[in-house]
């Protein structure tokens, strides 16, 4: 998966959720898909990959790439986070003037169960998108991990 390639027709990207667009507003109106540990940002009009974001970083609005300390979660911790996120996932909607609905996703705090064993996780937030969980560092405005 490389920048400039077109997304295969068999791959159906999803719209970027508002919370992710708040972190990277340059991607407003774009879609995404996840392949292995990378997030591909897709131009929905051309289906062209415009950015590939490794699990450990995210491109900031000014174009610089964050390369912070990688958060290491055990397989069990990843499953706990995913199970918690998907079981408590709530999506609200607000009616717009044209009578369509817009989904609103909210960054949630990491579960206390994980914070007790990894206190540094208290500073992170997550959002569930479909069957994936995106761990976010809100201080640095970056995606830390995508758990699928």
DSSP string, 54-101: ETT--B-TTSPBP--PPP---HHHHHHHHHHHHHS---EEEE-TTS-E
Q: Tell which wins on pLDDT, 30 or 61.
A: 30
pLDDT value, residue 66: 39
Q: Tell which wins on pLDDT, 63 or 20.
A: 20
Residue at token pair 């610089």: 64
Report the alpha-carbon distance of residue 79 to residue 81 in Å, rounded: 5
pLDDT value, residue 47: 92
Per-residue pLDDT for 73 more than 80? no
pLDDT value, residue 102: 46
Per-residue pLDDT for 58 more than 70? no
Report the alpha-carbon distance of residue 108 to residue 37 in Å, rounded: 21
pLDDT value, residue 54: 67
Per-residue pLDDT for 74 more than 50? yes
Distance of CA 29 to the CA centre of its chain: 15
């Amino acid at each position: 998966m490389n920048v400039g390639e077109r997304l295969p027709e068999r791959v159906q990207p999803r719209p970027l959720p508002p919370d992710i667009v708040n972190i990277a507003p340059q991607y407003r109106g774009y879609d995404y898909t996840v392949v292995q540990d990378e997030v591909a940002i897709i131009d929905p009009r051309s289906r062209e990959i415009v950015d590939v974001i490794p699990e450990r970083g995210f491109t900031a609005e000014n174009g610089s790439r964050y390369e912070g300390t990688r958060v290491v979660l055990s397989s069990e911790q990843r499953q706990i986070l995913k199970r918690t996120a998907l079981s408590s996932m709530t999506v609200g909607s607000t009616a717009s003037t044209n009578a369509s609905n817009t989904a609103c996703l909210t960054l949630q705090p990491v579960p206390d169960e994980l914070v007790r064993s990894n206190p540094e996780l208290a500073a992170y937030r997550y959002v569930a998108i479909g069957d994936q969980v995106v761990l976010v560092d809100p201080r640095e405005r970056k995606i830390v991990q995508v758990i699928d």
